[in-house]
Every structure is written in C-alpha cells, then in structure tokens.
C-alpha cells in the first residue's frame, strides 16, 4: 500500500475505500438504534482492510472495544485505538479493529499503519459485517461514552461527519496530484 505521509495534511483512514457518509444510514453519527444512539461513524469495508491514522498524534489508549470482555458478547471481539492530537486538542477513536501495537505513548505521524478491520457482527443482518468505527472527542475523554436514547449528546463527543467529509476530499486531491 502506497501511503502519502504529510504532517500538514489529514489522511483518509482506509486507503482506496470509498466512504459512505450520508447523514441517514445505519452507521451514521446520531442514528437511533434499539437501545442507544450511535456515537460514531461506521466506514464499511472488507475484513482485514488496513487502517491508517488520519492525523498525527499520540496513542493514549488501546482497549477492548466489542465482545465478551467489553461487555457486548453479541459482537465479536475487537479493539479500539485512541489517538490524541494535541495541536487540535482532539481524540479520534478507531474501533472494531485489530491493532498492530499494544503500547501507549507512541507518537504516530499521519498515515501510520495502526491495524486492520475485524468482522464485528456475529449475525448477518443484511448489512456489512465489518467496518471501521470512528468516534471523535474534544480533548482527552476519560472513557468512550454511551449515548442513551432520549438523552442529549454526551459532553465532549463530537459529530465527525463534516470532519471526515473534508478529510476524504483532501485525500482525493492528494491522490490525484
């Protein structure tokens, strides 16, 4: 995989994968689900798709994201990597993947390989069964939040939709120049 590494640019996390970012799809931010409201954006792709960091930052946490040990046994076991960009005071959580490292404190330039997407769904519901789940937070969150039905958007949780649209547009421009 050829990566464009540039500290001044934001990079698309799934090279060569065209995103599905309309406001109304099951993996969109803020979508109401059976028990909660979706806190991120799902970027559908094949299992084992390589994931790169969108922007530079420090790995501040690697944790179990779904599965038995993450208190969601109805999904397969996956992990999340939290990367904090101090210049933007923003944390991006890359979920539903298998990371390639296990240590915090590592500084990553934009475009660094962080892992590969794992199949998260155990049952076929007629939707893609693997995806990169992205969440975005102001600052450094203490934990990943649950957004309960009927409640307001949790403090610090940001809607990454417009951010990801601009990242993809920049990625296309870089790729075609």
Is residue 59 within 8 A of residue 81, CB to CB? The reply is yes
Q: Which two tokens stand for residue 6?
A: 């540039």
Please give the pLDDT value at position 5. Answer: 45
Is residue 47 within 8 A of residue 68, CB to CB? The reply is no
Mean pLDDT score of the chain = 88
Q: How confident is the model at residue 21 (pLDDT cuts 50, 70, 90)?
A: low
CA distance 123 to 120: 9
Report whether pLDDT(60) > 90: yes
Which secondary-structure segment (H or E) carries 168?
helix 161-176
CA distance 45 to 104: 26
Please name the CATH architecture into which domain 36-142+151-169 falls: Distorted Sandwich (2.70)
Comparison of pLDDT for 156 and 11, the residue scoring more: 156
User: Beta partners for 115?
Assistant: 51, 99
> Considering only 12-26, 90-104, 109-123, 144-158, which range has the smallest mean pLDDT?
12-26
Tens of pLDDT, residues 25-34: 788 898 998 8
Q: How confident is the model at residue 8 (pLDDT cuts 50, 70, 90)?
A: low
User: Beta partners for 134?
Assistant: 41, 94
Reported pTM? 0.89
SS3 130: strand
> Considering only 32-46, 86-100, 106-120, which range has the smallest mean pLDDT?
32-46
Q: How confident is the model at residue 23 (pLDDT cuts 50, 70, 90)?
A: low
Among residues 63, 56, 120, which one has the least CA distance to residue 92?
56
Name 77's Cβ contacts closer than 8 Å, sequence gap at least 6.
Answer: 64, 66, 67, 68, 69, 70, 118
**CB-CB neighbours of 90 under 10 Å:** 19
Alpha helices in the chain (DSSP H): 161-176
């Amino acid at each position: 995989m050829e990566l464009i590494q540039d500290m001044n640019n934001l990079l698309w996390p799934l090279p060569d994968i065209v995103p599905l970012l309309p406001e109304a799809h099951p993996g969109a931010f803020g979508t109401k689900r059976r028990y909660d409201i979706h806190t991120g954006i799902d970027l559908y792709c094949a299992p084992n798709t390589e994931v790169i960091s969108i922007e530079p930052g420090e790995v501040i946490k690697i944790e179990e994201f779904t599965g038995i040990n993450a208190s969601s046994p109805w999904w397969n076991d996956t992990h999340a990597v939290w990367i904090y960009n101090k210049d933007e005071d923003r944390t991006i959580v890359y979920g539903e993947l298998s990371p390639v490292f296990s240590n915090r404190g590592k500084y990553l330039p934009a475009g660094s390989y962080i892992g590969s997407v794992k199949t998260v769904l155990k049952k076929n519901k007629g939707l893609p069964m693997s995806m990169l789940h992205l969440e975005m937070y102001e600052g450094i969150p203490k934990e990943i939040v649950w957004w309960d039905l009927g409640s307001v958007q949790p403090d610090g949780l940001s809607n990454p939709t417009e951010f990801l649209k601009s990242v993809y547009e920049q990625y296309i421009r870089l790729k075609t120049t």
